[in-house]
Amino acid sequence: MTTTVTVPSANGGQSTRLRHRLSGLVAVTVIIAGLCLLSLAVGARPTPHDEVFEAVAALGSSTTETAIIVWDQRLPRTVLAVVVGSAVGLAGALAQGHTRNPLADPGMLGISAGAALAVVISVYLFRAGSIHTYVWAALIGAGIGAAIVFFIASIGGGSANPLSLILAGAALSAFFGSVSTAIILRDQASLDTLRFWNAGSVTGRDLGITATVLPFICVGLVLGLSQGPVLNLLAVGADTATGLGINVARARAVGFLAITVLTGAATAASGPIAFLGLMVPHAVRAVTGPDYRWVLPYSAAAGAMLVLAADIVGRVVVRPGELQVGIVLAFVGAPFFIALVRRRKLVNI
């Protein structure tokens, strides 16, 4: 009697992983949709879900109190939370991929601090109060920050390597942060204007702000999501990637352009949000593994989900007041960062 043993094919295993990853991405999308509905219903004034659905279905034509609250206050902050969260989540994954450092994020590279300092200077010197001015100032500041980091990391004739980028970025972040604090404390008008913006918040923004930053973030998302295959090759080393036909300098330039645009636009709209870009990629890799073709879209989706959740939590924990998104995420992100540093074996990226 002959026994036939069937060995699962490699293609079958790949198909199973593909289905699991697609299912996970769909699940995250469904959670985001549910959080969006919850965001429209939760606030200082409890709102029944049926009234929320009626207000949304009216498409802004209703003049009831619930409709005004939903369309003028809750809908704009919900949309902005999704946009900003996806931008910062993706920027964090790109930063960790290009530096090959699990502790990297846009804040660690000095990009967020550069964007924030540029906005502070625009308020201090030019009394800027328009989101349009904030966007361009933040993009310029983020670009200058990225350029300075690359220049410092490349001093000595060598190319910018991951370790030198992290060290230069950390030093630059500290310097930019000190200058921003000095200006804000010196000038009362700047302090009043930037008090809540600097904490990282989606409160008090209208849909016009989202419309202003959305084109920049869309460009950044397209550039960033296209980096998956390149990052998979860079993960095995720059020399190997070069041998496989990758122009490493150009790949890193495109990657940091995407990080700069995403971080600058998100910072302009909501202020700097710490720890988000650090936490999201690590949580995502527990589901996707190290494949950046999946890490990047998952990070964008998970970033949106986390900012939405943090905004909702901030509305209910100190009623009738609110906690800003950046403060809520700091309560989670600080212990996460400490635990990450203390781990003997960091996640393989």
pLDDT for 320: 77
- In-domain check, residue 275: yes
Predicted model pTM: 0.87
The pLDDT of residue 30 is 95
Q: Whole domain around residue 327: which residue ranges? A: 19-342
Spatial CB neighbours of 207, under 8 Å, sequence gap ≥ 6? 75, 76, 79
Q: What is the mean pLDDT of residues 199-212?
A: 84
Count of CB atoms within 10 A of residue 253's CB? 14
**Within-domain flag for 11:** no
- Asked if residue 52 belongs to a domain, the reply is yes
- In angstroms, the CA 285 to CA 184 distance is 38
Burial of 155 (0-12, 13-18, 19+ CB in 10 A): exposed
Query: Which CATH number fits the domain that encloses residue 63?
Result: 1.10.3470.10
In a domain, 12, yes or no: no
pLDDT level of residue 156 (50, 70, 90 thresholds) = low
**Average pLDDT value for residue range 44-55:** 77
pLDDT at position 94 over 70: yes
pLDDT at 248: 84
Per-residue pLDDT reduced to its tens digit, 214-244 = 999 999 999 999 999 999 998 887 788 888 8
**pLDDT digit string (tens) for 293-319?**
999 999 999 999 999 999 999 988 887
Sorted by sequence, the CB contacts under 8 Å of residue 57 that are 6+ apart come out as none
Number of domains within the chain: 1
